[in-house]
Amino acid sequence: MQNIDAINVSGIRAEPPVNYLTNGFTIKSWLLTKDHKRIAIMYLLSISVFFMLGGLYASAIRLELLTPASDLLQSGTYNKVFTQHGIIMIFLFLIPAIPAVLGNFLIPIMIGAKDLAFPRINLLSLYIYWAAGALIVFALLQGGVDTGWTFYTPYSTTFSNSYVMLVGLGIFVNGFSSILTGLNFIVTIHTMRAPGMTWFRMPLFVWAHYATSLVMILGTPVIAITVLMLALERAVGIGIFDPAIGGDPILFQHLFWFYSHPAVYIMILPGMGIISELISNFSRKKIFGYEFIAFSSIAIAVFGFLVWGHHMFVSGQSIYAGLVFSFLTMVVAVPSAIKVFNWAATLYQGSISYDTPMLYGLFFIGLFLIGGLTGLFLGAIGLTVHLTDTYFIVAHFHYVMVGGQVLAYLGGIHYWWSKMTGKMYPEFWGKIAAMLVFVGFNLTFFPQFILGYMGMPRRYASYPAEFQVLNIFSTAGASILGIGLMMPVFYLTYSFFFGKKAEANPWMLPGLEWRTASPPPTENFEKTPIVTWEAYEFGEENGLDLEEAKRRELVAPVV
Amino acid sequence: MANYLSEEHIEGHEHEDQEHIGIPGYLVVFGILVVGTILTYFTSFLDLDKIFAGANTLLALLIAFTKMTVVVLYFMHVRWSSRLVWLTAIAGFFWLAIMFAFTMQDYLTRSSGTF
Amino acid sequence: MANHADTHDDHYHPPGLQHQFDDMKQQMDSVTIGMWAFLVQEIMFFGGLFTVYLVFRSRYPMAFAAGSNHLDPFWGGLNTLVLIVSSLTMALTVYYAQKGNRNMQVILIVLTMLFGTVFLGVKAVEYNDKYNHGLIPVNGWNKKIKEGEHTTEKSSLTLPFETKVSAASEEGKTEVHANPKGNFQIEDKDLELVQNAVNGNYLTQSEKIGYFNANNEIDKGMFTGKVQIFFWIYFVMTGLHALHMIIGLGVMLWLLWMAWRGTFTAQYFAPVEIAGLYWHFVDIVWIFLFPLLYLLGRHFLH
């Protein structure tokens, strides 16, 4: 019986007779598939579409903010534009992106399974996502919402004349897509691991998705019930958020943020999982502090549920609640910091190669650091009173969500592109795009820290003239960022059809996903792997020695 | 045709324990639930707040928790399930407790006060 | 765990084993954990509503007592017993499925569905009662009763030791007051609760502000708003619960069809087990809803 327990690149058939892409060409074979890889590709296409839609709204915002006056868009329209930018980006892009695309594709392969535990539920998740997207886009076409993505009451329940209920319904439906994905991942990781794949041999990417799935299951139902209550109150005209009958608008905020704060950990944890993979693999070195990173992921997921009040410091909640939430916000930063230290320690004395995915990984560390630290500033009550509802907040969350998650997502897409498509992306254009993204991003959002500190409020279409210069920098940066983000759409599509064929393990890496063909066959492995090696196990015994890597020019020679 | 799969991997292997309480056991659990319901109904009419404020509420909740516990342990077979299932069930209620506690800590400490 | 490294399916597959699983135990473990994860999600879903209940009950206990006194604990208690019986029949269904006894399975599923339907029927009776008495919290959604159309109707079973079923009833009868616009309305007698609380000095801070007008008198309109909140919560919580019952009945129907066809054997009964988990969960939610909505306020009037 052949075990694939030693890396044997030539032993894997470069071209199995049928891979998951060529296993059926009809539309029905795609739309009714149970293959997690095909579902992941369909998610990839859908998510890209929504990302671009959200990006269009972002362009409208930045164009309007070129001038101090509200001249391109009226305030009412501007309200709709930033609301819709937020809703599309958060619910239709950031929350599903990494888990639904990369998580779906890779988790079964990384643990040596044939598929997820519930393939049909996986397909259902996709359908539900499409339904939610359709509902939200339909609502936008009808006229959209103007409440801010946070839907604060009583504006959203009583006074807004926009399509709150329709968008709310879309968000409600989208929640179930998330919940079912999380459920699938948790069960899969518990019960479908291949023989020998113990918990501590799993890649950290899988640990990250496990932690994310915990948050998805525990948090998402709360936004669902909250949106339901909001819609009901709006529909019947009476409800528990209405102060006139004794209700409390702040209760909405409590319930809303109970989910929406952990939601940001749904967004960033998978990204951190990708970064662990990128940093370790492109330093050709076992990750430093594997258990620390694994447990930090769980700690972030758990502690993330205890801090939601830091979005409500000035809302009217009690000062003592503010105290508790502020303290816990400082605590939740610790596991993230532990990860950053471990990544840095991994880089130290590693044999680093600056391929495109690694560039994204390194940029992530710097940008996430800034975003995370500014989050600490905002967690301190004294500072937050000054900075709340200013551009400082906007800059903070874009640093972690774009500088963090989007960069991790792009890094992951490039890294596993060869595995998913069997083609290599063009390295030159990849590097150009990565650098444009980095430069454009910083130019867009760093001035916003300054603007916020200087007092420019967020969600305003017009602003005092003295803020214009920085806003112009920001818009200029956004143009560069936009170009950098659009470039992969083109060169990745091109490479899918005309790119260089990739071998199974182009970078000579130890992960289980690299021990099957690129693209993999439908059942992932020709034979069920029996795992006898540890995670990230480089080294000569495994045929992954440095000399061979240098000979194949996978690593830049040390000068 | 003899096959190792259906013989070696008989599902329900770990469920043999469920026969330990069997139908009589289920009827006992049922009895507990009925008694609990009747008890909670009648004690709700008595003014127990004389003993201490909130006593009625506490008693009703204790009875409800007891009923829930027997349903979870015996009807839902958690008594004989893996530790993972135990952990999942406990996690659900723990998270609920977080939601209650951290929301109420705002309301209870407001200067307008609750009590 | 597979004890063979071959992924090619050249051996016998037990009926009911899905292709992604290696053996029945893996499938059973997976679906069990999967259903429990789903139930955890349901706990948090209902949990949001329980949080709302908690917040407002701690703020306005007298309004909640007034609202609770308009509910009939007899029907609520009966429903509780009905669901408990259905839980028993469900547990027995799993027991017999595990034994491979098709006939008993079918009988017990039918019984479970029967009790579930009875539950929904009682809820319909209760909701209709609220409609008749102007207790649906949305103005205009109650029965429109013109001025002069006073009626008294017998309220449901009054047990011997009870002095009053609700604040509004005397000798087991309920006055039905005029309600030309179908608005939400409470009885003047409900305000007794507030007066008693004033006398006994056990109003909360929020109540001291919330029930009294500028002249520091008990204001019926202000009190009504808080009772409206109670009924909003009542309808949303029991309505959502009823919706879950309906879904449960749908699941039972599907289960019945499969059981009738003899699909379940001693080797394969996972769907029955996990349907049972769902059903018991719905029962547990009601176990909490009953005392929290129907019973916590009774003692103020006795």
Q: What is the DSSP string of B44-105?
A: TTS-GGGTSTTHHHHHHHHHHHHHHHHIIIIIS-GGGS-HHHHHHHHHHHHHHHHHHHHHHH
Structure tokens at A218: 């525990």
Helix (H) or strand (E) holding A296: helix A290-303
β-strands C173-176, C151-154 pairing = antiparallel
Coil, strand, or helix at residue A311?
A: helix
C231 touches chain B (CB under 8 A): no
Contacting partners of chain C (3+ CB pairs under 8 A):
A, B
Least Cα separation, residue A216 to chain C (angstroms):
9
Residues A531, A192, A96: CA angle, nearest 5 degrees: 110
CA atoms within a 13 Å half-sphere pointing along the CA-CB vector of C264 = 28
Do residues A204 and A111 touch, judged by C-beta distance below 8 A?
A: no
Coil, strand, or helix at residue C151?
A: strand
Nearest to A204 by CA among A296, A118, A142: A296
Averaged pLDDT in 10-residue chunks for chain C of 302 residues: 43 79 92 96 97 95 93 94 97 93 95 97 94 92 81 49 43 66 89 89 89 90 94 97 97 96 90 96 97 87 62
pLDDT at residue A146 tops 90? yes
Determine which of A234-248, A335-349, A488-502, C149-163 has the lowest per-residue pLDDT on average.
C149-163
Q: Which residue reads 């009827």 in tokens?
A: B27
CA-nearest residue to A236 within chain C is C138
DSSP A103: I
Residue pLDDT, tens place only, A40-91: 999 999 999 999 999 999 999 999 999 999 999 999 999 999 999 999 999 9
In sequence order, the β-bridge partners of residue A182 are none
Partners of B46 on chain C (C-beta within 8 Å) are 299, 302
**Non-local CB neighbours of A244 within 8 Å, separated by 6+ positions:** C225
Coil, strand, or helix at residue B32?
A: helix
Residue pLDDT, tens place only, A333-361: 999 999 999 999 999 999 999 999 999 99
Q: Which residue reads 């859908």 in tokens?
A: A46
In sequence order, the β-bridge partners of residue B8 are none
User: What's the pLDDT at A118?
Assistant: 97
What does the DSSP assignment read for B80-95?
Answer: GS-HHHHHHHHHHHHH
CA-nearest residue to B103 within chain A is A254
pTM beyond 0.90: the answer is yes
In sequence order, the β-bridge partners of residue C154 are C173
Question: Averaged over A87-99, what is the pLDDT?
Answer: 97
Give the Å distances, CA to CA, from C178 to C147, C175, C181, C244.
5, 10, 9, 35
In sequence order, the β-bridge partners of residue A539 are A544
Do residues A423 and A500 touch, judged by C-beta distance below 8 A?
A: yes
Nearest to C268 by CA among C5, C28, C7, C8: C28
User: What's the pLDDT at B48?
Assistant: 84
Nearest to C92 by CA among A16, B30, A68: B30
Mean pLDDT of chain B: 83
C-alpha to C-alpha distance for A201 and A1, rounded to whole angstroms:
23
User: What's the pLDDT at A545?
Assistant: 74
Do residues C236 and C48 touch, judged by C-beta distance below 8 A?
A: no
The torsion of the CA quartet C42, C48, C52, C57, rounded to 10 degrees, works out to 40
| Phi, psi of A78, rounded to the nearest 5 degrees | -60, -40
Residue pLDDT, tens place only, A182-200: 999 999 999 999 999 999 9
User: What's the pLDDT at A539?
Assistant: 78
Note if the bond before A488 is cis, omega within 30 degrees: no
Do residues A261 and A311 touch, judged by C-beta distance below 8 A?
A: yes
What does the DSSP assignment read for C65-121?
Answer: HHHHHTS-HHHHHHHHHHHHHHHHHHHHHHHHHHHT-HHHHHHHHHHHHHHHHHHHH
Question: For chain A, what percent of residues have pLDDT higher than 90?
Answer: 89
C-alpha to C-alpha distance for B83 and A425, rounded to whole angstroms:
46
pLDDT band, very low/low/confident/very high, at B114 (cuts 50, 70, 90)? low
Do residues A35 and A548 touch, judged by C-beta distance below 8 A?
A: no
pLDDT at residue A18 tops 90? no
A474 Cα distance to chain centroid: 23
Mutate to test the interface with B, among A199, A318, A320 (most CBs of B within 10 A): A318
User: What's the pLDDT at A103?
Assistant: 98
| Phi, psi of C263, rounded to the nearest 5 degrees | -65, -30
C-alpha to C-alpha distance for B38 and C283, rounded to whole angstroms:
16
Determine which of A541-545, B23-27, C4-8, C59-63 has the lowest per-residue pLDDT on average.
C4-8
B103 Cα distance to chain centroid: 23
DSSP A194: P
Do residues A234 and A152 touch, judged by C-beta distance below 8 A?
A: no
Helix (H) or strand (E) holding C1: none
Structure tokens at A362: 């390194």
Contact check, Cβ <8 Å, C267/B37: no
Sign of CA dihedral A48, A53, A56, A62: negative
Least Cα separation, residue B111 to chain A (angstroms):
7
User: What's the pLDDT at C6?
Assistant: 43
CA-nearest residue to A222 within chain B is B99
C-alpha to C-alpha distance for A269 and A207, rounded to whole angstroms:
9
Partners of C34 on chain A (C-beta within 8 Å) are 117-118, 183-184, 187
Least Cα separation, residue C9 to chain A (angstroms):
11
Sign of CA dihedral C75, C79, C80, C81: positive
Residues A343, A347, A348: CA angle, nearest 5 degrees: 120
pLDDT band, very low/low/confident/very high, at A377 (cuts 50, 70, 90)? very high
Do residues A9 and A536 touch, judged by C-beta distance below 8 A?
A: no
Mutate to test the interface with C, among B1, B7, B9 (most CBs of C within 10 A): B9
| Cα Rg, chain B, nearest whole Å | 21
Coil, strand, or helix at residue C95?
A: helix
Give the Å distances, CA to CA, from B90 to A244, A255, B63, B78.
38, 22, 19, 11
C206 touches chain B (CB under 8 A): yes
User: What's the pLDDT at C14?
Assistant: 78
Question: Averaged over A286-302, what is the pLDDT?
Answer: 96
Do residues C62 and C56 touch, judged by C-beta distance below 8 A?
A: no
CA-nearest residue to A313 within chain B is B106
DSSP A457: B
User: What's the pLDDT at B61?
Assistant: 95
In this structure, chain A runs to a length of 559
Least Cα separation, residue C59 to chain A (angstroms):
9
Partners of B95 on chain A (C-beta within 8 Å) are 218, 305
pLDDT band, very low/low/confident/very high, at A14 (cuts 50, 70, 90)? low
Nearest to A33 by CA among A142, A140, A122: A122
User: What's the pLDDT at C177?
Assistant: 76
C-alpha to C-alpha distance for C60 and C78, rounded to whole angstroms:
28
Partners of A182 on chain C (C-beta within 8 Å) are 37
Intra-chain end-to-end CA distance of chain B, in Å: 73
pLDDT at residue B14 tops 60? no
Residues A272, A278, A284: CA angle, nearest 5 degrees: 140
Amino acid at B51: I
| Phi, psi of A423, rounded to the nearest 5 degrees | -125, 150
In sequence order, the β-bridge partners of residue C153 are C174
| Backbone dihedral region for residue A298 (phi beyond 0: left; psi -120 to 50: alpha; all else: beta) | alpha
User: What's the pLDDT at C2?
Assistant: 41
CA-nearest residue to B114 within chain A is A318
pLDDT at residue A469 tops 90? yes
**Non-local CB neighbours of A446 within 8 Å, separated by 6+ positions:** A395
